[in-house]
Amino acid sequence: MAGTIGALAGATLGPSASRAYVPTPRTRDWQAVPAPGSVPAAQLRRIAAAGPRLAWAVGEEDLGVQTQQRALAMVWNGDVWTKTDLSHLTHTRIVDVAGVRSSAAWGVGHPIGDASPLLRWDGTTWREADFPGRGEPDVRLTSVGVGRDRQVWVCGVRDGAARLLHGDGRRWRWLDPLPVESVNLYRVVVRRPGEVWVCGDRSNGGGWSGLVARWDGAWTALPPVAGLRLGLADVHASGPDDVWAVGTEAGVGGPIGRPGNPALSHWDGTAWTRLEAGFTLGSLTGIAGDARGRAAWISGWNFSDQSRSTYLRRDGDTWTVARGPAGTAPAPYLNDVTSVPGTRGFLSAGMTRPAPYPPTEAYSEHLDRVSADFGD
């Protein structure tokens, strides 16, 4: 979904000023962490951390022509990833995960027939949870977020409209529909109690544009993020006038297998500004904030240089291309990145190769400690 060719270029947060991107020479801080036990082909799609000794990563495994793929989940104890036993589940994929502690972690599974499952961590494994609309044929859940107050926010579709399911694990209610038609929601992020942000895409007649909206008791949909078949994978809001959105722009078409273009956009409270990602072919897949709540790291994939994983790191008022460790995977692809609460570290997750076909395996990296010039 992303790549880089030619000279790297960058931009400041402001809409008019620009500054050159320079690949960081420091790559030793990101370290590969084994994620053992997955059956190729496998990938980790999303990752969430409750603290330095508890994190979760989810995805799918056993992706093969003559096999039935299965949901994949890992749990982190601060030192190693351990594969979670999901033999009691029949889901083919877990698409998202969020958690703030062992008793407040949630996941969303891929639908089985008419059932779109909501999953809850019981301290050892994932189990299905009840919610209004469970098993209804028109209900689809796509993403989940959990706040420090343990309130749970789930993106979904019910009665043909995109909306949020909100609850505490015992009591649930569907909120008013998002007042935008023909949308797909891919991510929900909790900024603070009672305020969440969602992102995805919306039809624009001949294709689709990026969508970002806020719920704080009522919906506020920001203007579309313009692009040629642009979908947003993640959003990070430090405030109503400081919102970052990342994704992939498919463009006007081309040969089968052509990668898209990475999309990095900033909302300043008035308008969206599109910034250069530092490479031109590939994707941006996730955003993680620092201890102050500012967007700090972006995960991605660089089609033109796949020898290492690719990130963008916040460097003052610019984003700079940074690379992961060398030689740990043939061509790693990162699907997500998250901060580790209580530390200055980060975790990322994805797969060892850019396509989910054998012998691709689950993959993870860890930034154990951020040095002063990586600022948070």
* 40-50 pLDDT tens trace: 999 999 999 99
In 91-160 the beta strands, taken as DSSP E runs, fall at: 94-101, 104-109, 118-121, 126-129, 140-146, 152-158
Burial of 37 (0-12, 13-18, 19+ CB in 10 A): middle
User: Looking at residue 256, what is its pLDDT?
Assistant: 67
User: Looking at residue 149, what is its pLDDT?
Assistant: 95
User: Looking at residue 27, what is its pLDDT?
Assistant: 39
Intervals of the chain under pLDDT 50: 1-28, 370-376
Q: pLDDT tens-digit profile of 48-86?
A: 999 999 999 999 999 987 678 999 999 999 999 999 999
User: Looking at residue 67, what is its pLDDT?
Assistant: 72
Alpha helices in the chain (DSSP H): none
Spatial CA neighbour of 296 closest among 244, 256, 354: 244
Spatial CA neighbour of 80 closest among 41, 44, 36: 36
Dig out the tokens for 196 from the structure: 């969440």
Spatial CA neighbour of 283 closest among 330, 202, 350, 222: 350
- Vertex 197: Cα angle to 74 and 112 (nearest 5): 45
β-pairing, 94-101 with 81-83? Answer: unpaired
User: Looking at residue 8, what is its pLDDT?
Assistant: 25
**CA-to-CA separations, 280 to 58, 174, 201, 285, 366, in angstroms, rounded:** 28, 40, 21, 15, 26
User: Looking at residue 3, what is its pLDDT?
Assistant: 30
Phi and psi dihedrals of 14, rounded to 5? -70, 155
pTM as predicted: 0.90
CATH code of the region 29-366: 2.130.10.10
Q: Where are the domains of the chain?
A: 29-366
User: Looking at residue 254, what is its pLDDT?
Assistant: 63
